[in-house]
Amino acid sequence: MVLELGAYATATLRPGPRNSVAAMDEAGTPLPVTEDAIRRVGVRARGHLVVRVRHELPVGQGFGMSAAGTLAATLAVSSLVGQSRPWAIRAAHLAELDGGTGLGGVAAILGGGIEFRSKPGIPPWGKIRHLSSRTTVWVGVAGPRIATPRVLSNPRMRARIHRAARDLDGLLAHPSLERFAEASERFTDRVRLAPPPLRRLIHALRGSDAWAAQTMFGSSFFVLARRSSARNRIARVLETHESRAAEVSLARTGARVLPSTARAGPPGLRKDFRGGEARRAP
């Protein structure tokens, strides 16, 4: 599912005699995978290139924020220096693969709604279908972050993931929100990655007439109401468990470049990118 809460990136190039690249989040923490992706874009102009990324959901909790921020950065830089959109997408995808921070998050957020993938990779190699949906989804965090590279680099964990995904291919033949939700629950139960507090919360949420599953990979969850009357029951369960959660709409569009900002700053070029709508559902 592609959420309206995503990532923004701002790229600024200050002319100078030497080339340098820096990518960081709002707190000034370096983002090495994002920096690698920016270097893959290729900037011919000399100067100091700075990219700042703002994530609207927690990083390391299965919400795809690493992919969103990295793609935001490469699109902003590509727009700044005149590179193509496909090249920016490729740079972000390869950096995510090599950095171990994800396998297909970049491909997923090229469109909105619910993404179904029958062939891995970014276009034109991957085969992706997006179904639009006006539904809202509850997302929340119930524990510490899970490092994606640690999971993906563990052969035993990868084997367990493959076993958990067996017989889920039927979802692609008849994709729908309901089938997606049911497959997500089965995968969560089979892969057994959720810590005990998260498992208890997920089962309590399922008892509120909702689909609930773990986000991959994080100590976090998403919830879809089976019917509108379940919304209040979901809210009561979350309140009882003192869970940090928000109700968010699915995005109608995918990653895109925004116009330049008007705020004052140091001389140089500036482009902004928003990797998804940023409105919470009412």
Strands 220-225 and 210-214: antiparallel
Q: What is the pLDDT of residue 146?
A: 85
Task: Dig out the tokens for 171 from the structure.
Answer: 């979802």
What is the per-residue pLDDT for 172? 85
* Residue-level pLDDT at 264: 35
pLDDT reported for residue 269? 41
Q: What tokens appear for 66 in the block?
A: 């690493």
On whether the CB atoms of residues 105 and 94 are closer than 8 A, the answer is no
Task: Give residue 38's region: left, alpha or beta (phi > 0; psi -120 to 50).
Answer: alpha
In this predicted structure, what is the pLDDT of residue 258?
A: 87
**Which domains does the chain show, CATH number per domain?**
7-113+252-274 (3.30.230.10), 135-249 (3.30.70.890)
Q: What SS3 class is residue 124?
A: coil
Residue with tokens 């998804």: 276
- 5 SS3 class: coil
Looking at this protein, which amino acid is placed at residue 188?
Answer: T
Cβ pair 122, 232 in contact under 8 A: no
What is residue 147's predicted lDDT score, i.e. its pLDDT? 82
Q: Which amino acid is at 172?
A: L
Residue 207: φ, ψ to 5°: -75, -5
Q: Distance between CA atoms of 234 and 246, rounded to whole angstroms?
A: 11
**pLDDT digit of tens for each residue in the chain (282 aa)?**
999 999 999 999 998 888 899 999 999 999 999 999 999 998 877 899 999 999 999 998 999 999 999 999 999 999 999 999 999 999 999 999 998 887 889 999 999 999 998 888 998 999 999 999 989 999 999 989 888 888 888 999 999 999 998 877 778 888 999 999 999 999 999 999 999 999 999 999 999 999 999 999 899 999 999 998 999 999 999 999 998 899 999 999 999 998 765 343 333 443 444 443 333 332
3-state helix, strand, coil in the chain (%, to 5): 35, 25, 40
> What pLDDT score does 262 carry?
35
CB 89 within 8 A of CB 73: no
